Amino acid sequence: MAYEEQTTGDPRLDQLVSALAAQFGATECRTICDRGEVTLVVPAEQLLSVARELRNHPDLRFAQLIDLCGVDYVAYGQAEWETDEATTTGFGRGVDAIRDLELDDPERFAVVYHLLSLEYNRRLRVRVYAGGHQPVVDSVRGVWQAADWFEREAFDLFGILFRGHPDLRRILTDYGFVGHPFRKDFPLSGQVEMRYDPEQQRVIYAPVEIEPRVLVPKVIRSDSRYLGDDRDPPVQGGANA
């Protein structure tokens, strides 16, 4: 895939795009410029080499990792119910519809890195697709040490494995937690429930008693949140006026 250089309209960001093109033009990386932001999409097998260049190259100097997070793109851009006015691109949490989708898409899971160049006061987003059912990418802890706990969080919540991480274990959920709660095929009601049993005098796990359901908006309220600029002025004095 040929590297295609884009422009943002911002001279400072255009300098960044040109620097990325000069450094990675011969690779399979590509840039996306949207809403005044620059994203560099990097093949998983080139992640470590690209990360080192982003940190060390004198025209880039992205020395600080601000954030690292996982993303589940299954059902991205697909609507699970029809609405008249709401967007049709943001309803991706209905478990019943997701079960019918391709869950092993190689671009289902991604790891997103937010980088900051203190030297040039520029920010960059890096996206790496991690695979489908068993997503794996290399750990960047050796490049940016701040990635340590961020990678553990992405592993805990999305089940993304980070090859080379020295201590990859759960960080937010319990050690006995089943599944990864930020995956979109994870049931909203969870797998098990935890409660204190007064007879046993300890915390126990039990099957979930909440019936699984999809949160579909069914009520449209005719109040000021849904009126246009021609709405009537509010009544003075409150409800008892």
Compute the average pLDDT of residues 28-54.
94
Spatial distance between the Cα atoms of 14 and 67, rounded to a whole number of angstroms: 23
Q: Evaluate whether residue 236 is within a structural domain.
A: no
- Inside any domain, residue 208: no
Query: Which spans in the chain are helix H?
Result: 11-24, 47-56, 95-98, 147-158
Dig out the tokens for 46 from the structure: 């080139």
Residue 8 lies in a domain: no
Q: Is residue 170 scored above 90 in pLDDT?
A: yes
* The model scores a pTM over 0.85: no
Q: Is residue 106 part of a domain?
A: yes
Inside any domain, residue 131 = yes
Number of independent structural domains in the chain? 1
The residue range of the domain holding 82 is 42-190
Residue 68 contacts residue 154 (beta carbons within 8 Å) = yes
Q: Residue 88 belongs to a domain with what CATH number?
A: 3.30.460.80
Average pLDDT over residues 211-218: 61
Q: Given this model, what pLDDT does residue 228 score?
A: 59
Provide the percentage of residues in the chain whose pLDDT is more than 90: 50
- The per-residue pLDDT for range 6-26, each reduced to its tens digit, is 666 778 888 999 999 999 988
98 domain-assigned: yes
Query: Does 185 or 37 have the greater pLDDT score?
Result: 37
Question: Which pLDDT score, from 0 to 100, does residue 237 have?
Answer: 46
Each residue's pLDDT tens digit, 65-78: 999 999 999 878 76
Q: Bin 187: left if φ > 0, else alpha if -120 < ψ < 50, else beta.
A: beta
Instruction: Report yes or no on 200 lying in a domain.
Output: no
